[in-house]
Chain A
């Protein structure tokens, strides 16, 4: 068995309103079939993939969150320390576009203000039902300092690009020193290929019973 040597490990989020195609995007990315009748995600799901970015093999640890409102509280804990996020809306749904700023705020406050976010307009294949124009979304992206791509999880168009573009930006920022992998909660870890390792967080020493009670 081949042991892949990875240099970095990035924690990624996929966020956005329900039904925008987050799970579909992730599944497409990790190589599963597209399903027309995918169920809503309950809580979060997980996928990982090793990609090659500029010659560096990098493991992406991707958390696919549920978009339904009721799962907000559950999914929040997964935002912590994400290095990158795909913020997904559905180009055929104005509603999903309108809620973007809420998602964006959550991501920046819960994950990290420096989180690299790529705006994804999904379902590009359904041009005939488009409700959000490319220009409009580009403008939103520009205003909020996001990268932007339109994708289709159905045809696979731009899916890999989206993840790679986001990863490349993170890597570039590491190299310019803008991002510090050593900082706890950066969402970046050194992989198996590097000797540098994040020092494992110290486990709190088990408290010695200060109470004399026996229970």
Chain B
């Protein structure tokens, strides 16, 4: 377009372009141009040419000078105008060209403008379109978001509404933690949405649900009392943890245990009482239990209470284990410390709870026992009850290490009173037995002893006479001494195991269980020699006829010369057996109640006393001879002692004494043929002696079951009662012996003998034959008896010694009736009694005849000098004054001596 030069030319001062113009213009013109002051080239706005000229007007303003100046200025103007014209014409083409250019540019600009305009129009269109859809989208998005949040809230509300149901479902599935969690979350959610009006409602409902759930938890918690389910408890525990109520829950659980004890106790009783008494207090309920149902009721009670104890025990164990599992390292964290404190609190609570629960259980059982009329239990039931209680004490020891002193004491006092009551019953029974006793020998084997009785089966190993004493004591110490042995607790612990649904009490429901099983006593060992001492009496196959035959074969040769045949006899009566059976039962009681052994043993001894006393009472009632030398001192003491405990007035004596048995009416004790009931007397006396032997057999065992300091009592009984029974033979056999010869008739016969004869006779007096005949009859009748009962040598001997004792006394009596007696008469006396003794020896088999000294000494005293006589009458107290006076009368010829000695004898009387 515009060239550079053109532009320069156009814009530069005219002076600068002079080179190009010079060729066209004349030099003069150039000169003129050059002379133009420079200021004239200034733009008219800045330079006022007129003014400039005026100011530079020549001084003095002469016309010439002005003309000259005018001309110059005119010239200059011509030159400049020419020049300018020249320049303009010179630049005309350029201008045209430029103009065209400009025109061109103008057109282009118009075009551009149009394009711009169009572009803008387009732009405007498009921009309008874009903005509106965006807004719609945005608006929609926003809407959607709002709806979404509304939906969420609605959903929340819906879920809040269904919380109840969900919680119920969870609870049913035993997911307590989840249930609580759900409720808590819901509650939180609800509190975040307070803006909804319905939320307020829901919130209260949630609270209700929470309360209900807690109640439900509580009821599940209470079910723990009856059966500790570890999983269930863990769940509960977690739930309570979440609730922050672990400690409170534990408190609550303890209350549940207490009420479980109460409820269970009532439940256990309910089955056994009438409908009407169900609302009563526990104690009254106990009283209304029918007595025959009491044992089973006690069993139920203990068993149910045990289940609660087991549950608690497992609870405690769970905590111990649980604590171990997550013992927290001691930390300073406040939260942790708090947790540890709470845990410690629970631990203490649980520990104390063991004892407390046991005391509650103990109280229930004691209440029941106190009100259940224990004394009325049958023996078996009583033993069973003891077993139950014993088990309970063992349970307690495992449970909380308690020795159950209360219960033990209670058992002891109750047992003592039961035993006393039981004993009273046995004593009454014994009285009946004795009054009805036929005093016939009970046919038992000759080797019979108490071990053959079923009641002593369990004691065989302690009592077997063949075994050494040491073994007795040894086996005893582990059998009967300790109530709680190590094994027991291991055995009981088994039942505290969570995996068992057995209880230590179910053993009592088993019909076949023995008392030993119940008491955990060692079962009897089946000894290899068992068959030897098998109680044949008790065997079904026992053939009694064969036995009977054996007895009678003994009597084919009844002579006393073969005593070995009869040596083995055992004489027992029904009553003896009954006493022994009772002893067996008493000893069983001891086994189960070692703490009252002594009391029981003393009662057992009372059975013996009573039997002993009764035999004496029955069979000496007709003793018709003065008895001073028949009774040993010890025998007198025993009888005196026993009679203190026997109420002889048949009135209502105090509780300590027992009524005296009535003399039996059915016994024939007067028949001479039967030697005045000698057979019964023998059976009676020998049965007491046998019984004493059995008691002695028991002594080592008895000593082992009582406390060491109590042994003396037993020894005393043994020495002063059991050892004395043989002394009973004398007075009782004397009853028959004294009737063997007719005393009156014999004395008359003796009085007919003349003792003051001059010559010594060669023939004994007739009364000797009389006596001999009587003795022979006695012997025959005694034989009859021995065909019915087996008599051993000792029995025969003691019977015969009583006969001879009686005869010896009869002789002395007869001799003392002689007021006159010669030397030869004294000889006759000797001849008579020697003859009699020879006969008696033959008949009785006794050699020498006992007590013969008595008559011998008396008769021979006749020969003593005065001094000897005096000593004799002073020292021999066994002779009566009558005897002695008669002796003096015969022996002293000197009247003064006679008087002196008589005075001594009579003086003796005064002295006594």
Contacts and interface: CB of A to CB of B under 8 A. Distances in A.
Interface string A9-50: 000000000010000000000111100000110111110100
Contacts of A32: 378, 380
Given A61-B432, A70-B548, A80-B666, A215 B805 contact: yes
Contacts of B757: none
A203 B438 contact: no
A78 interface: yes
Nearest to B878: A214
Interface stretch (B26-34, B125-133, B692-700, B806-814): B806-814
Most interface-central of B438, B535, B805 (chain A CB within 10 A): B438
B627 interface: yes
Nearest to B629: A215
Interface string A176-215: 0000000010000000000000001101101111111111
Interface stretch (B253-261, B461-469, B618-626): B618-626
Nearest to A69: B544
Nearest to B454: A39
B436 A43 contact: no
B218 interface: no
Given A31-B378, A43-B577, A209 B650 contact: no
A48 B425 CA distance: 10
A163 B520 CA distance: 38
A76 interface: yes
Given A1-B373, A70-B547, A215-B625, A43 B378 contact: no
Given A207-B622, A211-B625, A46 B432 contact: yes
Contact of B442 (A19, A43, A201): A43
Nearest to A80: B666
Contacts of B62: none
Nearest to A32: B380
B628 A74 contact: no
Contacts of B663: 201, 203-204
Nearest to B669: A204
A73 B441 CA distance: 9
Contacts, number: 130
Nearest to A71: B443
Interface in B579-625: 581, 621-625
A39 B538 contact: yes
B444 interface: yes
Contacts of A209: 624-626
Contacts of B373: 1-2
B79 interface: no
Interface in A144-194: 184
A77 B438 contact: yes
B626 A78 contact: no
A28 to B, nearest CB: 13
Interface residues of B, number: 60
Nearest to A33: B511
A199 B439 CA distance: 25
A1 B806 CA distance: 54
A40 B438 contact: no
A20 B197 CA distance: 91
Contacts of B89: none
A201 B664 CA distance: 9
Contacts of B880: 214
Interface in B800-827: 805-806, 809-810, 813
A75 B665 CA distance: 17
B453 to A, nearest CB: 8
A46 B581 CA distance: 11
Nearest to A46: B429
B540 interface: yes
A69 B466 CA distance: 32
A68 interface: yes
Contact of B545 (A39, A42, A70, A215): A70
A31 B376 CA distance: 13
B437 interface: yes
Interface in B429-461: 429, 432-433, 436-444, 454
Contact of A215 (B292, B376, B627, B665): B627
Contacts of B443: 70-71, 74
A73 B738 contact: no
Q: Which of A70, A71, A208, A215 has its CB near the most chain B CB atoms (within 10 A)? A: A215
A200 B738 contact: no
B809 A215 contact: yes
A206 B375 CA distance: 40
B662 to A, nearest CB: 6
Contacts of B219: none
B625 A213 contact: yes
A74 B574 contact: yes
Interface string A50-65: 0000000000010100
Interface in B405-426: 421
Contacts of A74: 438, 440-443, 573-574
Contact of A42 (B442, B743, B805): B442
B20 to A, nearest CB: 163
Contacts of A33: 380, 511
B542 interface: yes
A184 B662 CA distance: 14
Nearest to B437: A77
A68 B544 contact: yes
A44 B662 CA distance: 20
Given A209-B624, A215-B734, A69 B432 contact: no
A117 to B, nearest CB: 19
A200 B662 contact: yes
Contact of A2 (B376, B441, B630, B805): B376
B578 interface: yes
Contacts of A44: 574, 578
Contacts of B441: 74
A42 B547 contact: no
Interface string A73-92: 11111101000000000000
Contacts of A69: 544-545
Contacts of A71: 442-443, 544
A212 B665 CA distance: 28
B744 interface: yes
Given A32-B380, A70-B545, A209-B624, A1 B375 contact: yes
Given A40-B540, A71-B442, A206-B621, A213 B662 contact: no
B662 A201 contact: yes
Interface in B494-512: 511
Contacts of A208: 624
Nearest to B429: A46
B388 to A, nearest CB: 17
Contacts of A77: 436-440, 666
Given A78-B436, A207-B624, A46 B578 contact: yes
B870 interface: no
A84 B631 CA distance: 43
B542 A210 contact: no
A211 B738 contact: yes
Interface string A109-128: 00000000000000000000
Interface of A: 1-2, 19, 30-33, 39-40, 42-46, 48, 61, 63, 68-71, 73-78, 80, 184, 200-201, 203-204, 206-215
Interface of B: 292, 373, 375-376, 378, 380, 421, 429, 432-433, 436-444, 454, 511, 535, 537-538, 540, 542, 544-545, 547-548, 573-574, 577-578, 581, 621-630, 650, 662-663, 665-666, 734, 738, 743-744, 805-806, 809-810, 813, 880
Across chains A and B, which 3 residue pairs bring their CB atoms closest together, nearest first? A77-B438, A70-B544, A43-B574
Given A203-B662, A204-B663, 6 more contacts: A40-B538, A44-B574, A45-B578, A207-B622, A213-B810, A215-B626
16 contacts: A2-B373, A39-B535, A40-B540, A43-B577, A45-B581, A71-B544, A74-B441, A74-B442, A77-B440, A77-B666, A200-B650, A203-B662, A213-B738, A214-B626, A214-B809, A215-B734
